[in-house]
Structure 1
Amino acid sequence: MAFQPIPLHELLLLSLFNNEYVVSKILNETRPQKIHAFMPVTRLFQRMFDLTGYQHQHNTRPDCVRNVLESSPVALIAWIYDKYVEWSDQKWCKFSEQQQDTYCSPKGTNNLTNQLVWDDVITTACLYFLNHRVRSGIDYYHKNLGMAYGHFLRTKTPSTIFFAISEFEKDPFAAVNVHKYLSHLYTNLVYYRPHPFGGHFPGFEHPRVLAKDIADFLTIIDV
């Protein structure tokens, strides 16, 4: 069963159809530019509708998707390949040699995108297939997607919890102004660093950058 529409989706749809008056009343915001800054709808819908179809399939047809992926390693590799390519930074970054050593993973002849290589796809597929974890990977979406897009997006964390954001420009979720939105939920934001490169998989694409962000965050909170 698909998850029920939640207020955030309804606001996005209203904004999509230029119903700024209704949206402004709900958000208690009368300045259109503020609404657009909070909800960049054109960019959001263009990217998110294109890239999140797999979530809807996992959520509404988990058995069908699972049976296909469990029966064929090739199908699983293709499924993972699509996500890695589409959700990563597909533009080649113009780094100097020194910056390459600082920010990037070693390049090879089997690169899929700027920093992702085939080994990443094969390794991930093996972890799922050989350990029989396709079912649990799909069930995660089927059982939790409603909460992720509903309860999670409306729940504020206690101010005692430290929070950090490491934002990579080509991550599709960057389209929703992650920093502005999450700062409403996580009030104790002590670290924010945007990067003009990288996608949804910084651990693969730019592991050194992500590691430095984590280390800097831990330094701030004195851990």
Structure 2
Amino acid sequence: MPDVHAFEAHATDADLDDLRARLAAARLPEAETVRRRWEQGVPLADLAEVVDYWRTGYDWRPFEARLNAIGQFRTTVDGLGIHFLHRRSARADATPLLLTHGWPGSVAEFVDVLDELADPQDADAPAFHVVAPSLPGFGFSDKPATTGWGTEKIAAAWVELMERLGYDEFLAHGGDWGGVITTILGGRFPEHVLGIHTVTPQAPPGLPTDGLTPAEREWTEETRDFWLHRAAYAKQQATRPQTIGYSLVDSPVGLLAWILDKFAEWTDTSDSPFETISRDRILDDVTLYWLTRSGASAARIYYESHDSLDPGLRVDVPSAISVYPRDIEKCPRPWAEERFRRIVRWGSPETGGHFPSLEVPGFFVEDLREGLAAVLAAGR
């Protein structure tokens, strides 16, 4: 394939030793003054325990080897180096599938589901050639040196990437920023996108609550509460990504706390994110940010694209939507139908939060398969 070359991750021992030294020298604040755990963020006792494990028990090398085994590549689109995982299926009937992660995630969100999506154990299940890029400024993708790399440009870059891999038509899935980008792909590039699956449907603004069920109204109230009272991180990264970026790139403890706070609040758990996601997998994600020094550059996607989804964008390709119960934004179907004009499958799973591929990977794979099968059956 022209302009595409294989890539392997190899962190230096010096970088890993430096990480452990910084963790050993960490200065932690006093304990939180709260009535309820997590009320002021990550509790001191929890963070201290994870920091100690990160320093003395965690091993980056297995995750690095896993990425290399899946198949990593890089290519340059519009002057920016883009990293991606590419797991081709052995099945002749496989359909190309683009997976896009969000923040504070990474390609780590998909490593536990790629094999089953590409080569399912059930021969009757659909199979996919899976492509999972790292967003610009994230992981092993390059860091944009100028403004302009917002979600619209990223979506166009993904089309170029897929064409470069020989996939002129493909399916797309995403959540968080990946859900926004997937929506744009379906709306702007229907000649290339066979259909989409998203766990982050966003309705056009200003829709009334008249006609919504009580449960749907509760969804809108929960989403409104999130943006009013629990979204300071988004405002910070949208307005001052450089300022917070110094802490995220210089302090592994600061980076860990900033990301762990979101895994804790956004997962379907009673207290700790480790109830559903292993410490190692979360630390794989955090360590990827650390080793690539991408805390500031990843935050800038908020500066580029926060609240920027075109209110008039409509998606006419077949769409499958799943709204997980503990996600941070939950869009009622009547609202979603104002943007997604051909919803062929709507799912409301009983468990799961913002990171379903990590929290409930088995269910996520089945849900994604069923949604994409409905999309393909509907055609264009």
Shorter-chain TM band: 0.5 to 0.7
Match of 1:215? 369
Distance apart, 1:49 and its partner CA: 2.4
Match of 1:131? 292
Residue 358 (structure 2) pairs with residue 204 (structure 1): yes
Superposition RMSD in Å: 2.6
Distance apart, 1:33 and its partner CA: 4.5
> Residue type of the partner of 2:295?
V
Count of residues in Structure 1 that have an aligned counterpart in Structure 2: 172
Distance in 2 (alpha carbons) for counterparts of 1:65 and 1:140:
13
CA contact (8 A) 2:321 2:345 kept: yes
Distance in 1 (alpha carbons) for counterparts of 2:322 and 2:275:
19
Q: Which runs of 5+ in 2 are unaligned?
A: 1-203
Q: Which runs of 5+ in 1 are unaligned?
A: 1-6, 12-26, 93-110
Deviates more, 1:211-220 or 1:77-86: 211-220
Distance apart, 1:36 and its partner CA: 7.8
Match of 2:236? 57
Residue 300 (structure 2) pairs with residue 121 (structure 1): no
CA contact (8 A) 1:165 1:191 kept: yes
Deviates more, 1:127-136 or 1:41-50: 41-50
Match of 1:180? 334
Match of 1:189? 343
TM-score normalised to the size of structure 2?
Answer: 0.41
Distance in 2 (alpha carbons) for counterparts of 1:166 and 1:146:
21
CA contact (8 A) 2:248 2:296 kept: no
Instruction: Look up the SS of the partner of 2:320 in the other structure.
Output: strand
1:189-221 deviations in Å (ceiling 9; x for gaps):
111111121111101101111111111123221
Residue 324 (structure 2) pairs with residue 168 (structure 1): yes
> Residue type of the partner of 1:218?
L
Distance apart, 1:39 and its partner CA: 5.5
1:15-66 deviations in Å (ceiling 9; x for gaps):
xxxxxxxxxxxx6x7xx75268675554333233233211100011111111
CA contact (8 A) 2:321 2:346 kept: yes
Structure with the higher helix share, 1 or 2: 1
> Residue type of the partner of 2:211?
K
1:116-167 deviations in Å (ceiling 9; x for gaps):
232232111111111222232111111011313xx1x43112x2x1211122
Distance in 2 (alpha carbons) for counterparts of 1:114 and 1:132:
28
> Residue type of the partner of 1:183?
E
Distance in 2 (alpha carbons) for counterparts of 1:197 and 1:55:
25
CA contact (8 A) 1:51 1:86 kept: no
Distance in 1 (alpha carbons) for counterparts of 2:211 and 2:321:
22
Residue number among 300, 307, 316 corresponding to 1:146 in the alignment: 307
Deviates more, 1:115-124 or 1:202-211: 115-124
Residue 246 (structure 2) pairs with residue 67 (structure 1): yes
Match of 1:24? none
CA contact (8 A) 1:170 1:198 kept: yes
CA contact (8 A) 2:320 2:343 kept: yes
Match of 1:48? 227
Structure of higher RCO (CA pairs closer than 8 Å, 6+ residues apart): 1
Instruction: Look up the SS of the partner of 1:173 in the other structure.
Output: coil
Deviates more, 1:78-87 or 1:116-125: 116-125
TM-score normalised to the size of structure 1?
Answer: 0.68
Residue 266 (structure 2) pairs with residue 87 (structure 1): yes
CA contact (8 A) 1:163 1:189 kept: yes
CA contact (8 A) 1:55 1:141 kept: yes
CA contact (8 A) 2:325 2:349 kept: yes
CA contact (8 A) 1:166 1:210 kept: no
